[in-house]
Amino acid sequence: MRDTPLSNCERLFLLQAIQEKKRLDGRQTYDYRNIKILFGTDYGCCIVELGKTRVLCQVSCELVPPKDSRPTEGILYFNLELSPMASPAFESNRQSELLVMLNRQLERCLRNSKCIDTESLCVISGEKVWQIRVDVHVLNHDGNLMDAASIAAISALSHFRRPDVAIQGREVTVFSPEERDPIPLSIYHMPICVSFAFFLQGSYLLVDPCEREERVKDGLLVIAMNKHREICSIQSSGGIMLLKDQVKPVEMLLLVEGEHENHSSERIKPFPVLLCFSSFVLMQRKEGGKFGFAESLPIERITALKRDEAPVEMADVKDTAEEIINRTESSTEVYPPGLKTRERSAASPVLVATGTAQVGEGIVNSWGLEEDEDDEVIIEDKGGGTYNHNCICK
């Protein structure tokens, strides 16, 4: 199933909004969407939410023979899937051009940058090594899949633990987590991708484009960097030629502390946030502290489920309540006890203020009684005595 194309009116509206430095979701030109990283109950399970874009990553491992060209190094395998559940434009069991491009960019960002120590994955040289498999599943597509996939992959790799092994001669014994504590991967640095979309032949630049903004873009520049400001990979797509002056805003964003003279009023926020995340995880690992799933165990916090918090404005609650009470006039009507049923049914609780009711002051409790009261009828008999007879009068 193909996705519905944009109409000419929508395309012109988006381009005009970009020229006026306005975006559909209210962000500024260089603003990143909110990032949420959720860790599952299993090691290596991670869900990343970049706005409405959701990506699930699961890391697993197995013992396999090494490659002949590198007998002492482990294997890193990346697999990214685009299912129709994420977007109607994706087709199942078919490799699209977008899927191939995302897979290659993810491999360049994480495997070619040597962020994982593959030699530590060797068990027996030339015979058995650990193969780390990274499966990335796109749950919802709302633009900028590459950034969300890179964050999910490096987060899942930092959260993953492989089983411990023992070697006796040529025999390899793999221990379960109950027998020995699993071992984390050796991570040198954490490269993170940042995407820049160019519009109108490179005249305008946006960071973290959404799905509709990606449809009208002319080119896309994806740069992966770590906290040491080292470029791990760079990828340009779209067939647009970028001049030096057009790439200056990108250079300003990556330098974090620099400010461009034409954009001095706009603070650059996305990349420092990602770098702080990577440096925090590495710092916790070096100091032996707990993070991720291990951090959530002492406080008994469930990380697999979430509930969005709704902000409530509480600044003027007291003044508003006093104003409502002052405007309200208390009722002076009091219903004395002893009223008949019909009169009691017509009586209502005394309203003190808007949205409140007062029950019990001057009102007889009529719960459990019939709507029509049984009228008492006195009948005299011939012997001069009287007796009471209750009947229902209609």
365 or 111, which is more confident?
111
pLDDT of 189 strictly over 70: yes
DSSP E strands, 93-164: 122-124, 128-140, 161-162
Listing DSSP states for 219-284 in one string gives EEEEEEE-TT--EEEEEEESS----HHHHHHHHHHHHSS---GGGTTS---HHHHHHHHHHHHHHH
Q: What pLDDT shows up at residue 338?
A: 56
Rounded Cα gap, residues 97 and 82, in angstroms: 11
Q: Which residue has the tokens 């030699």?
A: 119
375 or 163, which is more confident?
163
Q: Which residue has the tokens 């203020």?
A: 353
Least confident of 30-39, 46-55, 131-140, 254-263: 254-263
pLDDT of 335 strictly over 90: no
Residue 83 and residue 158 in contact, taking contact as beta carbons nearer than 8 Å? no
Highest mean pLDDT among 109-123, 310-324, 380-394: 109-123
Q: Compute the C-alpha angle 266/267/272, nearest 5°.
A: 150
Residue 253 and residue 30 in contact, taking contact as beta carbons nearer than 8 Å? yes
Q: What pLDDT shows up at residue 77?
A: 94
pLDDT of 308 strictly over 70: no
Q: What pLDDT shows up at residue 57?
A: 95
Please state, rounded to an integer, the average pLDDT across all residues of the chain.
Answer: 75
pLDDT tens-digit map of 236-284:
887 777 666 666 666 656 654 334 333 433 333 444 445 445 444 545 5
pLDDT of 374 strictly over 60: no
Q: What pLDDT shows up at residue 267?
A: 38
Least confident of 130-144, 320-334, 335-349: 335-349
Q: What pLDDT shows up at residue 327?
A: 75
302 confidence band (pLDDT: 50, 70, 90): very low
Amino acid at 45: C
341 confidence band (pLDDT: 50, 70, 90): very low
SS3 45: strand
Architecture of domain 27-191: 2-Layer Sandwich (3.30)
Rounded Cα gap, residues 139 and 46, in angstroms: 12
Longest CA span, the chain: 125
| 357-to-95, 233, 317, 331, 367 alpha-carbon distances in Å | 65, 67, 20, 11, 17
pLDDT of 135 strictly over 60: yes
Q: What pLDDT shows up at residue 62?
A: 93
pLDDT of 330 strictly over 50: yes
Query: What is the mean predicted confidence (pLDDT) over 195-217?
Result: 87
pLDDT of 9 strictly over 60: yes
Amino acid at 178: E
Residue 353 and residue 325 in contact, taking contact as beta carbons nearer than 8 Å? yes
Rounded Cα gap, residues 345 and 355, in angstroms: 21
Q: What pLDDT shows up at residue 244?
A: 64
For 359, other C-beta atoms within 10 Å of its C-beta total 8
Query: What is the mean predicted confidence (pLDDT) over 185-205?
Result: 87
Q: What pLDDT shows up at residue 54?
A: 95
DSSP E strands, the chain: 35-39, 45-50, 53-64, 75-82, 122-124, 128-140, 161-162, 165-168, 171-174, 183-184, 192-199, 204-207, 219-225, 231-237, 375-380, 386-391
| 62-to-106, 124, 175, 188 alpha-carbon distances in Å | 21, 14, 13, 22
Residue 114 and residue 187 in contact, taking contact as beta carbons nearer than 8 Å? no
